[in-house]
Structure 1
Amino acid sequence: MNAAVRAPHPLVLGCGLMLVAFNLRPALTTVGPLLAAIRGETGLGAAGASVLTTLPVLFLGLACVLAPAIGRRLGPDRGILLAAAIVAAGLALRALGGLGPLFAGACIAALGIGLAGVLIPGLVKREFPGRAGLMTGLYTMTLCLGAAAGAGLTVPLQGLFGGDWSLALAAWAAPALLAALAWAPLARPATPVPAAAPGRAIWRESLAWQVTGFMGLQSSLAYILFGWVPLVLHDRGLSTVDAGFVAALMSVGQAPAALLLPTLAAKLKDQRGAALGIVGLTVACYLAVVHGPVALLVPATLALGFGIGGCFGLGLTIIVLRARDTQGAAALSAMAQGVGYTSASLGPLGFGLAHEAFGGWAASSLLFCALAAGAALCALGAGRARQIGFA
């Protein structure tokens, strides 16, 4: 194998990584804008919609549990290639139409998203050790732009396909396949790694559990917003197109925070203040979007995106900063995202069930605020200037 394949230029590697990142959210953000249409056509109830928004997050957690073994066997480079291909396959499956392919495609795509999410922090730690904050920010910003594109363009795609929501959802397989093809030449084979003892030791460290708690709870907030904000906006009187557009603004708002927060946080010795501030902003803006004046929807939604994007970028940055080396970053990433996403799946489910049980969105909002309070509490430990030791 020649040197160019074994060691791609950092700029080329970074661009390939950004292409993959762009496709790690449309599978999750494209369903929400069409949820009203899907429910109207298929008769899917609120409980079924809750399951539809919950299952992908659960499969994200499952993928994170499997990711370390896949990473050891294939290496992070080829593991990310496999992840991108799985995302494309899951998205394409939705073209078959009906609830079965919709649910199955969402779960399959989520497996690929979770696998990539675990492997990328270790690759960033390995390839960009001096620019971990910047690269995490760029990766997260690009991921958020993909989320915005999915939320904002899916309803117009539905119109382009004659009102067929299944084809509109499946169209996102095309850029995912392109990302897989672009990453393929950069995917180096696995190299020998030390024994996996650190992965076992990490489960005994309180700091690792605090990082996991913050990652899981902020993820729960994010997936509540991805799955339910379009329907909340529709209930507030917006058309399906307008609700999708405003939800896309939320994703657009994530991009600058996803770039700025990791870059700034990596320069701070202690990230607790940044975490508490961004969680507080998220809660305030959520309440403005769901319960505030309709006239403030656009700026409040943009600011809500800034808050949730900052939470996610900070969560990934904390994983990298709390680890001492590439192996430690991979182990902590697997734990924080595996356990975190699995527990986060309960957030969208509980949010929807609270809406169905009590009507309106007040009870659901109480749940959202409680989850945010838990994230802030975990941040007090996760944001400390410490690193996890792997004895």
Structure 2
Amino acid sequence: MSVLRAAQPAVALKVSTRTKLAHPFLLLAGILLVALNMRACLAAVSPMVAEIQRTFGLSAAASGLITTVPVLFQGVGAPLTPRLTRRFGTERVVLGAVLTLGAGVLLRVLPSAVALYAGCVVIGVAIAVLNVSMPGLVKREFPGRAAAMTGVYSTTMLVGATLAAGLSVPLERALGGGWQASLGSWSVLALVAGLAWLPQLLRARQLPRTAAAGAAAAGAAAATAGPAGPESPAIEGLWRSPLAWRISLFMGISSLLVYTLVAWLPTILADHGMDRGKAGLVFAFSNLVQVSGAFLVPLVAGRMTRQRALAVSMALLNGVGIAWLLLAPVSGAWIAAGVLGVAQGGSLGLALAFIVLRTGSAAGAAQLGGMSQAVGYLVAAVGPVGGGALHQLTGGWGLTLSLMLVLAGVAAVAGWGAGRDRTL
């Protein structure tokens, strides 16, 4: 059975397995550059959907798959990541994932619909590996500041998404190569992140094998140890734990709301008469506001023994933003974008914070991260394609937004349970 115990404040949590890789500044720079890539290539697509749709003659549902496929494969790839990190070490896995992400970005812009979706698959798997690897890495290297550092790297993810959303259309015009040149240019960011991560890989190779084995014995190897480290004990009964399922459901529904609007918000606004460039700016503004929520909410969560009110507040703000978008999609676009930005950034940061706050080790964080992100992204994958299909069926966005409003209420219930003062 899963064993629950009273949670300790995050600032008091100590895990004595820090490996002290490269210089802390290089480590932080590497983490932030990797995080910049983790949403940029998804957000960059949204202002380009109409152009891609015309290029390949896609239906609205098929266009939704451009966002759905990466999200779906985030769910499929997440459970495999702890095995990869046990076998190859977190440092190698992160480097391989970020370079694979760059390759997927390039594959996606080849002149073929098959290549488009194949690139989406590669991108989804790469992001899945990074999604699961990073919480364990942060918990290992910053054991006393795990919640704060979670806020820092989740904020950086959204900064990348903001830049991508705001620059997609200008890059299309500046590079003169259409949507392909605009989307393909983000592979450069992945290459830069790979180069910045090299010092961590080189330092990891220099660590004594006995240190890796010691870290494994202490319980962090499931997320971090190299080939020499034995497998650490699993959290018993994780997939039968109600707490783990509540965290997974909160992450899943919150992500579904995010990715549905990542796929369709500019299109929703454009369909109601807004200029495509302006719609892209509204979308970029929403991503920019998400930064504040993603940074502040995990910091607040780490100082609380229970986060129930915080989780419910984020779900309610999601509902308010969706309702505003439903009632006044053009005149209220900027207000809706601001409210949704706070809610979605805060929900993302809180969902990631739950992973470190509800576990007592890097190994536990990796396992819970694998489960919650597998379930969460499989749920989230329904959003973009489902929203597109409902739009195609009804000819409008009212039903899609109404169902999202209902799901915000379900997220509130799940968040109330996930915010209990317990750890796995």
- Which of the five TM-score ranges fits, normalised by the shorter chain? over 0.9
Q: More displaced, 64-73 or 113-122?
A: 64-73
For residue 245 of structure 1, what is the aligned residue in structure 2? 281
Query: Which of 50, 56, 80 is equivalent to 1:42?
Result: 56
d(CA) in 2 for partners of 1:339, 1:297: 31
Q: Name whichever of 280-289 and 134-143 sits farther off.
A: 280-289
Partner of residue 79, structure 1: 93
- CA 314–227 in structure 1, closer or farther in 2 if over 3 Å, else same: same
Report the counterpart of residue 341 of structure 1 in structure 2: 377
Worse-matched range after superposition: 255-264 or 195-204:
195-204
Which residue of 315, 319, 322 corresponds with 2:358?
322
**Do 2:40 and 2:157's aligned partners in 1 also have CA atoms closer than 8 Å?**
no
Matches within 5 A, 1:1-391: 7-162=21-176, 164-187=178-201, 188-189=204-205, 190-191=225-226, 192-193=228-229, 195-199=231-235, 201-292=237-328, 294-388=330-424
Cα deviations by residue, 1:261-319 (Å, 9 ceiling, x for unpaired): 00111101110100100111111112213432633322321221111000000000011
Contact 1:27/1:110 (<8 A) preserved: no
Is the 8 Å Cα contact of residues 232 and 290 (structure 1) preserved in structure 2? Answer: no
CA contact (8 A) 1:60 1:341 kept: yes
SS in structure 1 at match of 2:89 = helix
Kept in 2, the 8 Å contact 1:36–1:240? The answer is no
TM-score in terms of structure 2 length: 0.87
> For residue 267 of structure 1, what is the amino acid of its counterpart?
R
| Percent sequence identity over aligned pairs | 40
SS of the aligned residue for 2:103 comes to: helix
Following superposition, the deviation at residue 170 of structure 1 comes to 0.7
User: Is contact 2:39-2:160 (8 Å) kept?
Assistant: yes
Name the CA distance, whole Å, in 1 between partners of 2:325 and 2:301: 27
Question: 1:37/1:290 Cα in 2 relative to 1: closer, same or farther (>3 Å)?
Answer: farther
Residue aligned with 1:294, SS: coil
- Two-structure CA RMSD over aligned residues (Å): 1.6
Tell me the CA shift for residue 176 of structure 1.
0.9
Counting matched residue pairs gives 384
SS of corresponding position for 1:66: helix
Question: Any idea what the Cα deviations from partners look like across 1:120-153, whole Å, max 9, x if unmatched?
Answer: 0001111111111110111011100100111110
Aligned-partner Cα distance in 1 for 2:29–2:65:
35
Greater mean deviation of Cα atoms: 156-165 or 70-79: 156-165
**Other structure's SS at 1:69 match:** helix
Superposed CA offset, 1:66-116 (max 9, x none): 111111111222211111111111011134233222211122111111100
* Structure 1 residue aligned with 2:15: none
- Secondary structure of the residue that 1:130 maps to in structure 2? coil
Work out the CA distance in 1 between the residues paired with 2:278 and 2:248: 36
1-structure distance, mates of 2:243, 2:362? 18
Counterparts of 1:86 and 1:200, CA distance in 2 = 33
Deviates more, 1:366-375 or 1:324-333: 366-375
**C-alpha contact (below 8 Å) 2:78/2:374 kept by paired residues:** yes
Paired residue for 2:213? none
- Distance in 1, matches of 2:194 and 2:269, equals 34
Inter-CA distance 293–6: structure 2 relative to 1 (3 Å threshold): closer
More off after superposition, 49-58 vs 247-256: 49-58
Aligned-partner Cα distance in 1 for 2:92–2:84: 9
Gaps of at least 5 residues in structure 2 are 1-18, 206-224
Distance 2:299 2:188 in 1: 31
Whether the 8 Å contact between 1:98 and 1:166 is mirrored in structure 2 is no
Please state whether the residue corresponding to 1:255 is helix, strand or coil.
helix
- Which segments of structure 1 move beyond 6 Å, counting only runs of 4 or more? none
Q: Which has the higher helix share?
A: 1
Greater mean deviation of Cα atoms: 307-316 or 162-171: 162-171
The SS at the match of 1:348 is: helix
Contact 1:94 1:167 survives alignment (8 Å): no
In the alignment, is the contact (CA less than 8 A) between 2:325 and 2:336 conserved in 1? yes
Residue 238 of structure 1 aligns to a residue in which SS? Answer: coil
Q: Provide the C-alpha distance between the structure 1 equivalents of 2:171 and 2:292, rounded to a whole number of angstroms.
A: 26
- SS of 1:198's partner is coil
The answer to whether the 8 Å contact 1:217/1:375 transfers is: yes
Q: Deviations over 1:248-272 (max 9, x none)?
A: 1111011011100001111011101
Structure 1 gaps of 5+ residues are none
